A and B are shown apart, each in its own frame.
Chain A
Amino acid sequence: MKKQLSRLAAFTALSFFAWSCNQSDPAPKGDYIQGVFVVNEGNFSQNNGAISFFTREQTTAQTDIYAAANGTALKGGVQGYVAAGDIGILLVDNSAAGLDKVEIVNSNTFKTTASIGTPDIENPREVVFGPNNKAYVSCWGTNADYSYKTGYIAVIDLISNKVIKKIDIASGPENLVFNNGKLFVGTYSFGGGKTLTVINTSTDAVDKSLTFTSVPTPIGIDANGKLWVNDGIQAIKINPDTYVSEAALTMGADATKSARNFAFSADRKTIFFVLSYDDANYVSHGETYKFGVNDAQINVTTPFIKRLFSGLAVDPSQGLLYAGVTPSYAQAGYAVRYRADGTLVDSVKVNVAPTGFFFK
């Protein structure tokens, strides 16, 4: 009896402790507070994209946390996911017209808080957070004839969860980099555009168009505050204030190969990328390379990892490289982890076509 009493006392004390912790600690609640979020694009015609989640210690993933939290799937391919604070933004691309959307979720519970559909959002491609509670989403527009003439940037006000402006961008707006009041907008390779558009995020108007020799893809801002842009087979370092090109590094001499899936290291001093090509039998081949932001040239003779990936990202807190493997669009893919020296850690089975990662 005494034992029971003491247990009860201990339990009560613990509960009180837990309760008081709860009271004093404003920490977010939810199942997805810390960990790795994997963007699984899905198979386009099946509308089966998903976000997978695992904590950094886990080796198995929850394959579709949106469905788990909301009782219904995303119903489209997933083109991107970013989160800041409690707000998570998902881009959903359905194979049928009129069903694309931006889904805004609580980033800790993954429960949906708002949804913005067509005509505001048509064929969303990438999302970044901007200043003043705004988010920017590149959209191809209806693009029914695949001529990439209907593209725009949708400016979302995250207080009202509404699109407050559309900024027209021709040639299929794609990758976005936000830095210091400027949004850099690249275009899609089949869109054919050769300009990098700079948008002033205080006026949300186009500030400047920078012309390149090929289709430009903004990669990000390095440790020295320089903007990197992929231009065909070159990586170009640009001063983001003066737009002066400070370096142009060539990623090999083989123009049939294309560079993609750029990712910065945690210290933003190294850039990883995949160099790939399709052979005559339509098999994709490629390797993963890296270069330093102060390097004079890129070594493409020795791959960092002798593998092709569908997505790359570095976890800023642990420094591990996360690489997406897509065996095909008809089966689940893997998130493979590598150390900074390129040695393999492990792999986690995720969902169909892992193309991106978000770390929290």
Chain B
Amino acid sequence: MVLTIVSCIFFPKILVAQQDSIRLDLVIVRGFVPEKFMSGLKIQKIDSATLNQFRFQNISDLLSLNTPIAFKNYGPGQLNTASFRGTSANHTAVLWNGLNINSPILGQTDFSTIPVAGFDELSVQYGSAASIVGSDAVGGSILLGSVPTKQTLNVMFGRQQESFHNYQTQFTARYASSLSDKWNFSGKTSVYDGQMNNDFPYAERKQYTMLPSNSFQRGLVQDLFFNSKNDHQISAHVWLTRNRLTLTPDDKAGRELTLTEAYRTMLRYNYKLLTFRTSWVRDIIDYARGDYSQLDHAVTDKFSNRVERDFEFKHLQIKAGGEITHYRAQVAGYDAGLLTENRGDLFLLSRLQATSRLVISANLRQAFVTGYNPPFTPSLGVEYFLIQKSDQFLKLKGSYGRSYRVPTLNERYWKEMGNPDIRPESGWNKEIGLEQSAVLTNNHSISASLTAYHNRVKDWTYWNPSKAYHVENLQQVLARGVEVQSGWKYQIAAWKAGANVSYALSKSSQEKAYDAYSADIIGKQLVFVPIHSGNVNAFVQYKNARLTGQVQTISKRYSTFDNSQFLDGYTLSNLLAEYTFVSSIIKMRFQGQINNLANTFYLNVRNNAMPGRSFALSLILSYNSPPTAE
């Protein structure tokens, strides 16, 4: 019972949950991200049905239809950065199995390089969680994770054909077996290949150019889990990605190549309450224009070692730990040759179950960076059940915490424009929210949440366009907003239906004057952050056939800091139909998808047109070994 309640608290699945599709793993692996210390913060777990629907798409497609995260997209398959709760692209931490995989030189993730096929589970954590996650977690965090399988053998092959000669191919094998009396083993090997030729049948839409581009994406994921009966757990994770983007590929003199590669590896060892993690991540970016014989080459290596120890008392849980990270960077744009740097982190996380209705989390972190020590980072989170019954709950929660961001390597070392004296950003995030879930009858259940936040970030770095883009701690930004989400689910006999509606208001503006003309900027909405955004997802399912509608709407986005120019708001809708044939060992899923159903015209941040209506057909074939007696 306690476990059930606790898991409810940890994972508010109600927001998006499809109960039928939640994986209930028997092998309990200690979470990669200590979500249980995030009480008071909002966490949205994306259910596996949604992940499956998007498995041939990009993570930004999924997030923009299911969360209020706004994306700044340069075009199909091109650079795509996130603005979470009115913050900049540098303010969203992306964690892969608990490790921040934002590029150390850019301090952000290009979401066009992350396909949904690259991970098993996805949670979105709203608001600052820097005391738990560390640097970059200012607007929120995106948590990608690997999940061990319990199936002896599952082999999956998938293929999607899309409009514009775009293709996706995937292969995944999951396997598990017992190695000895003591040791169990499970693993996953997955490869994916995306060929986006973007052969649009039109050169422009409404006189706006469709910029020719193509992108080719490849990746390999390897997870291995070893579990012993006497509480030893070892896991190894590898994720290799390669993304080759070419703009105007047919123009030999003017074509522009961006080749992004990442080698992500991790080894984790856990014994009872003690966990060690070691990881190595290499990020490579190659860029060239016209002549590809000389590429602008940037390589960064990040070696990280982390140790943490849990302490468990009757009502109190504590996690204490530390992390030390070594960076090596060789970047064509830096004056210095090879750059090396060490960073350290110490943290103490706690969670107190004060009463059956009240949970309090207090977390402390201090990061150390040579010459750039970020501020001491505390946070306090509280959750209180106003109603706690078997068929419903109403929870009040709040959080107050500090956030920080260590300047990126580019901000410090990029020749001429970088600034070695730049300071870390520092912010305070406050939020309060209500969360409700109720089973109305045996057939209906509803869920709702309401959150308001106020996040002020000081020393916000700015590549100052009035100083030849020299980077400075120029801005002080206040982001505040309200998020409303509600869901409904219905199930009777072979019928299922559900809907989720969400709306976000985000006001994010510069507060401080810094030159004679900044008066035109103060109080104005930050660029490319829509004030209003919303989405609707609804499905109806009969046996193995499912029809899903997805709608995303965003208000206009300003493109200049004084709000004198803007891109119009737009609404996009998609329609998906799927059918799954199921036999005892074989599953076949057909999915047909119409993207941009209404053929909406909209622009990307380059002022080029985005594609109109398009179609995709996919087939997933999967083989499951016959269930063995347990």
Q: Is the CB of A328 within 8 A of B466?
A: yes
Chain B residues with a Cβ closer than 8 Å to the other chain, count = 41
Q: With both chains docked as a complex, state the minimum distance between the C-beta of A344 and any C-beta of chain B, in angstroms.
A: 14
Please name all residues of chain A whose beta carbon is closer than 8 Å to the beta carbon of B470 when the two chains form the complex: 281-282
Q: Is the CB of B564 within 8 A of A282?
A: no
Q: A145-B291, A327-B516, A330-B527 are in contact. Are A97 and B465 (CB under 8 A)?
A: no
Contact of B607 with A48 in the complex, beta carbons under 8 Å? yes
Q: Chain B residues with Cβ under 8 A from A118's Cβ? A: 251
Is the CB–CB distance between B560 and A331 below 8 Å? yes
Partner among A48, A95, A150 whose Cβ is within 8 Å of the Cβ of B559: A48
- Closest CB of chain B to A318's CB: distance in Å? 26
Choose from B248, B253, B465 the contact partner of A43 (Cβ within 8 Å).
B465
Chain B 596-620 per-residue mask, 1 if CB under 8 angstroms from chain A, else 0: 0000000001111000000000000
**A87 in contact (CB, < 8 A):** no
The 8 Å CB contact of A331, one of B206, B289, B520, is B520
Check if A331 sits within 8 Å of B517, measured CB to CB: yes
Bound complex: CA A177 to CA B211 (Å): 35
Q: How many pairs of A and B residues are in contact by the CB < 8 Å rule?
A: 114
**A145-B289, A145-B290, A330-B561 given as contacts; is B253 within 8 A of A99 (CB)?**
no
Main secondary structure, interface of B, reads: loop
- Flag whether B199 is at the interface (Cβ < 8 A): no
Complex CA–CA separation, A266 to B606 (angstroms): 39
B517 touches A96 (CB 8 A): no
A72, A75, A97: most-surrounded residue (chain B CB, <10 A): A97
Partner of A46, one of B207, B515, B559: B559
Q: Is the CB of B206 within 8 A of A72?
A: yes
- Inter-subunit contact B606/A95 (CB<8 Å): yes
Tell me which of B208, B212, B247, B515 contacts A327 (CB under 8 A).
B515
In the assembled complex, the Cα of A69 lies from the Cα of B291 at a distance in Å of 39
Give bound CA distance, A284 to B468, whole Å: 8
Expressed in whole angstroms, the Cα–Cα distance for A75 and B605 within the complex equals 11
* Chain B residues numbered 468-514 whose CB sits less than 8 Å from any CB in chain A: 468, 470
In contact, A331 and B248 (Cβ under 8 angstroms): no
Task: Give chain B interface residues in 207-257, CB to chain A under 8 Å.
Answer: 207-209, 211-212, 247-248, 251, 253-256
Q: In angstroms, how far is the closest chain B Cβ from the Cβ of A74?
A: 9
Chain B residues with CB under 8 Å of A325's CB are 517
Given the known inter-chain contacts A95-B606, A332-B562, please indicate yes or no for A75 contacting B517, CB distance below 8 A.
no
CB interface residues, B 531-584, toward A, < 8 Å = 559-562, 564-565
Asked if B464 lies at the interface with its beta carbon under 8 angstroms from chain A, I say yes
In angstroms, Cα B203 to Cα A98, docked, is 12
State the A residues within 8 Å of B (CB). 43, 45-48, 63, 70-73, 75, 94-99, 118, 122, 142, 144-145, 150, 278, 281-284, 325-332, 349, 351-352
27 A-B pairs with C-beta separation under 8 A: A43-B560, A46-B605, A46-B607, A48-B560, A63-B564, A72-B206, A75-B608, A95-B606, A96-B211, A96-B608, A97-B247, A97-B290, A98-B251, A122-B254, A282-B417, A282-B470, A283-B466, A284-B468, A327-B520, A328-B464, A330-B527, A330-B560, A330-B561, A331-B521, A331-B562, A351-B564, A351-B565
What are the 8 closest A-B residue pairs judged by CB atoms, nearest first? A97-B254, A144-B290, A327-B517, A142-B253, A328-B465, A328-B466, A331-B562, A282-B470
